[in-house]
A and B are shown apart, each in its own frame.
Chain A
Amino acid sequence: MARTAFQIQRDVIYALLLREMASRFGKTRVGFFWVLLEPVAHLVFPIFMFSYIRHRIVPGIDYPVFLAYGFLPFLMFKAICLQTMDGTRTNRGLLAYRQILLMDVFVAKMLAHCVIQAIVFLVVLTGLAMLGFDVLPPFPLEFGAALVLAIALAFGLGMLFAALTSVAPDARAIIRILFMPLYFASGILFPITRFSNEIVDWLALNPVLHLVELTRLYAVEGYEPMRQLNVMYPLSLALVSLFGGLALYRLRFLSRVTM
Chain B
Amino acid sequence: MIRLENLTKSYLTLRGRKYVFRNLSLEIPGGANIGLIGRNGAGKSTLMRLLSKVDLPDSGDIITTASLSWPVGLSGGMQSTLTGRDNVKFVCRIHGVRGPLMRKKIEYVQRFAQLGQYFDEPISTYSSGMRARLAFGTSMAFHFDYYLIDEVMAVGDATFKARSRKAFKKRLKKSKVIIVSHSMRLIRRMCDVVVVLENGNATVYDSAEKGIAAYLESGKRYNAQLAKAHRAAKRKQAALAAVGAS
User: Residues on A close to B: CB < 8 A?
Assistant: 3, 7-8, 11-12, 14-16, 18-19, 22-23, 26-27, 92-100, 252, 255-257, 259
> Taking A22-B86, A23-B82, A27-B83 as contacts, is the C-beta distance between A96 and B54 under 8 angstroms?
yes
Instruction: Name the A residues within 8 Å of B83 (CB-CB).
Output: 27
Inter-chain contact A96/B77, CB cutoff 8 Å: yes
Inter-chain contact B81/A259, CB cutoff 8 Å: no
B10: nearest chain-A partner, CB-CB? A256
Inter-chain contact B74/A96, CB cutoff 8 Å: yes
Inter-chain contact B56/A256, CB cutoff 8 Å: yes
CB distance from A51 to the nearest CB of B (A): 39
Instruction: Name the A residues within 8 Å of B68 (CB-CB).
Output: 98
Inter-chain contact A3/B96, CB cutoff 8 Å: yes
Instruction: Name the A residues within 8 Å of B52 (CB-CB).
Output: 96, 98
Inter-chain contact B56/A19, CB cutoff 8 Å: no
Instruction: Name the A residues within 8 Å of B79 (CB-CB).
Output: 19, 23
> Taking A11-B94, A255-B56 as contacts, is the C-beta distance between A19 and B77 under 8 angstroms?
no
Inter-chain contact A98/B82, CB cutoff 8 Å: no
Interface of A is mostly: helix
Chain B, interface size category, equals 20 to 34
Inter-chain contact A94/B96, CB cutoff 8 Å: no
B86: nearest chain-A partner, CB-CB? A22
Instruction: Name the A residues within 8 Å of B58 (CB-CB).
Output: 256
> Taking A26-B81, A27-B83 as contacts, is the C-beta distance between A97 and B96 under 8 angstroms?
no
Distance A19 CA – B81 CA, assembled complex (angstroms): 10
Distance A255 CA – B55 CA, assembled complex (angstroms): 7
B53 contacts partner chain A, Cβ-Cβ < 8 Å: yes
When A and B form their complex, what is the total count of cross-chain residue pairs whose Cβ atoms lie within 8 Å? 65
Inter-chain contact A19/B90, CB cutoff 8 Å: yes
Return the 7 tightest CB-CB contacts between A and B, nearest first. Answer: A93-B76, A15-B93, A98-B53, A93-B77, A15-B94, A23-B81, A11-B96
Inter-chain contact A97/B82, CB cutoff 8 Å: no
User: Residues on B close to A: CB < 8 A?
Assistant: 12, 49, 52-56, 58, 68, 70-71, 74, 76-79, 81-83, 86, 90-91, 93-96, 122
Instruction: Name the B residues within 8 Å of A97 (CB-CB).
Output: 70, 77, 91, 94
A-B contact pairs, 15 of them (CB 8 A): A11-B93, A11-B95, A18-B93, A19-B79, A19-B86, A96-B52, A96-B76, A97-B94, A98-B52, A99-B95, A252-B56, A255-B56, A256-B55, A257-B12, A259-B49
Instruction: Name the A residues within 8 Å of B91 (CB-CB).
Output: 97
Residue among A7, A15, A18, A95 making CB contact with B54, cutoff 8 Å: A95
Inter-chain contact B94/A93, CB cutoff 8 Å: no
Instruction: Name the B residues within 8 Å of A14 (CB-CB).
Output: 93
CB distance from A169 to the nearest CB of B (A): 15
Apart from A7-B96, A259-B54: 14 A-B pairs, beta carbons within 8 A = A11-B94, A15-B94, A23-B79, A27-B122, A96-B52, A96-B77, A97-B70, A97-B77, A98-B68, A98-B70, A99-B94, A256-B12, A256-B55, A256-B58
Inter-chain contact B96/A96, CB cutoff 8 Å: no
CB distance from A98 to the nearest CB of B (A): 4
Inter-chain contact A15/B90, CB cutoff 8 Å: yes
CB distance from B217 to the nearest CB of A (A): 33
Instruction: Name the B residues within 8 Å of A259 (CB-CB).
Output: 49, 54-55
Residue among B56, B78, B94, B122 making CB contact with A100, cutoff 8 Å: B94
CB distance from B143 to the nearest CB of A (A): 10
Instruction: Name the B residues within 8 Å of A99 (CB-CB).
Output: 94-95
Instruction: Name the A residues within 8 Å of B53 (CB-CB).
Output: 98
Instruction: Name the B residues within 8 Å of A3 (CB-CB).
Output: 96
B52: nearest chain-A partner, CB-CB? A98
Instruction: Name the A residues within 8 Å of B78 (CB-CB).
Output: 93
CB distance from B116 to the nearest CB of A (A): 18
Inter-chain contact B77/A94, CB cutoff 8 Å: yes
B68: nearest chain-A partner, CB-CB? A98
Instruction: Name the A residues within 8 Å of B77 (CB-CB).
Output: 93-97
Instruction: Name the B residues within 8 Å of A98 (CB-CB).
Output: 52-54, 68, 70
Distance A99 CA – B83 CA, assembled complex (angstroms): 22
A95: nearest chain-B partner, CB-CB? B54
CB distance from A103 to the nearest CB of B (A): 12
Distance A92 CA – B54 CA, assembled complex (angstroms): 10
Distance A22 CA – B122 CA, assembled complex (angstroms): 12
Instruction: Name the B residues within 8 Å of A27 (CB-CB).
Output: 83, 122
